[in-house]
Amino acid sequence: MRIRSKTLVAVAALALSAAVPAGTATASDATASDATGSDASSATAGGAPGDIVSSVPSAFHPLPGQWTNTRAWKVHYRSTTADGKPNVVSGTVIVPQDGRTGPRPLVTYAVGTVGLGDSCAPSANLPNGTAMEANLIQQLTLRGWAVAVTDYEGLGTPGVHTYTVGPSAGRAMLDVARAAQRLPGTGLSAAGPVGIMGYSQGGQASSWAAELQGSYAPELNVKGTATGGVPADLLAVADFNNGSYGSGLIFMAAAGQDAAYPELDLDSYLNPAGKALVGFFKENCVAVDATVGSFKRISDLTTTNPLERPDWRDRLNRSKLGRTAPAAPVHQYHALGDELIPYAVGRQLRADWCARGAAVDWSTIWVGEHVSGVITHTSAAADWLADRFAGRPAAGNC
């Protein structure tokens, strides 16, 4: 009954956030004002990944006006782009105010697709109760865990969001965990246990964070990664969605790749209808984007298909997962009936990780589709992380 209640609340939150148009996500709390633009753009002024550039008090409301016994901060922190350059990313740090002593687990959390417009950023919506996954995040804070939510590169900061660029997203996740541990007032220890969690776009980000952690952030005490609905192979996902309900995601991803790698020159491949659609995506959020962009073929919106070009294929393959075994155990889950990210793509990632010696606990969601997968499985994924925080071994089921 408790799981069913949580699921219903999460569905309500998703429906509510889908109804919020771009441009309305301004903080309702007086303390949730944004950092200055000059802070957010000072990416090259020294410092290390994870260092705080600025922080302001914020708030965490799973639904509009819903109280939570937490403190929250909006942060700008240093990170690294896909091609290794320093940048600044925004995010939110949430800490329960439950009087807990001793090391508090920290979950670095990546949301699924919210859109390309800055108003879609989690940090713009968590204070208002309009963030799509806020009720899922609340399931973690109710366990006494701190949560750090990245906005990703270019979502809420200057520039276009580098949507689906895996190395950028993975680093943003690891660096927001570092930032949370360095933020005064959180009570978080640099040696405290860390979990990585995300689904869909967040599944790509969390999987990349898991693969990068051993080399990029080895000091983080990562106990495990819970990742689901992972678009591990972008070319396969694009082929699957071409002309279908999820076809708009192809063009959003193309805009994200073009933002990370401007030499790709996406605009030169688009016809007038394609330019108009991508321009629309850059200003709006996923609920509208999914409707406007659905059931279109790449050939409808381009003069030449960029995905057939070697340079585009090379950049997309730079975001392909499965080449490096995560250093910590992984719980990976995928809906058999996923209509956006093929089940076979998830299975292949599991096979690739297993072949490289990773400890992978694979779980199939037998009933449901893409969005319902995260709603129904979050509790089980969090239970798996709780076992890792408790020091219980994770052998996997490869």
φ, ψ (nearest 5 deg) of residue 78: -80, 140
| 148: nearest Cα among 103, 191, 120, 111 | 111
In angstroms, rounded to a whole number, what is the distance separating the alpha carbons of residues 109 and 134?
A: 11
Instruction: Give the CA radius of gyration of the chain.
Output: 19
Amino acid in position 87: N
* Closest to 79 (Cα-Cα) out of 137, 146, 147, 151: 151
Q: 105-144 as b/e, with b when 16 or more CB fall inside 10 Å?
A: bbbbbbbbbbbbbbbbbbbbbbbbbbbbbbbbbbbbbebe
Instruction: For residue 99, give every residue at least 6 positions away whose Cβ sits within 8 Å of its Cβ, in sequence order, or none.
Output: none
pLDDT for position 4: 35
Q: Residue 62: its pLDDT value, please?
A: 96
Cα dihedral value 346, 116, 177, 110, nearest 10: -30
pLDDT of residue 45: 55
Give the pLDDT confidence score for residue 235 in this predicted structure: 97
Per-residue exposure over 230-263, b if at least 16 CB sit within 10 Å of its own CB, e if not? bbbbbebbbebbbebebbbbbbbbbbbbbbbbee
Closest CA to 227 of 246, 201, 249, 194: 201
Residues whose CB is less than 8 angstroms from the CB of residue 204 and which lie 6 or more positions away in sequence, other chains included: 164, 166, 169, 198, 230, 231, 232, 319, 321
Measured CA to CA, the distance from residue 121 to residue 132 in angstroms comes to: 10
Q: Which residues of the chain have pLDDT under 50?
A: 1-44
Rounded CA separation 147/96 (Å): 9
Place of tokens 């914020």: 58
Residues facing 89 on adjacent strands? 77
* Residue 291: predicted pLDDT: 87
Which of 194, 200, 228 lies closest to 327 in space, CA to CA?
194
**By three-state DSSP, how is residue 318 classified?**
coil
| Closest-CA residue to 123 (of 188, 59, 209) | 59
Predicted confidence at residue 8, as pLDDT, reads: 35
Alpha carbon distances (Å) from 343 to 243, 313, 347, 370, 395: 18, 22, 6, 10, 23
> Could you give the CA distance from residue 97 to residue 68 in angstroms, rounded to a whole number?
9
Tokens of 279: 């321009």
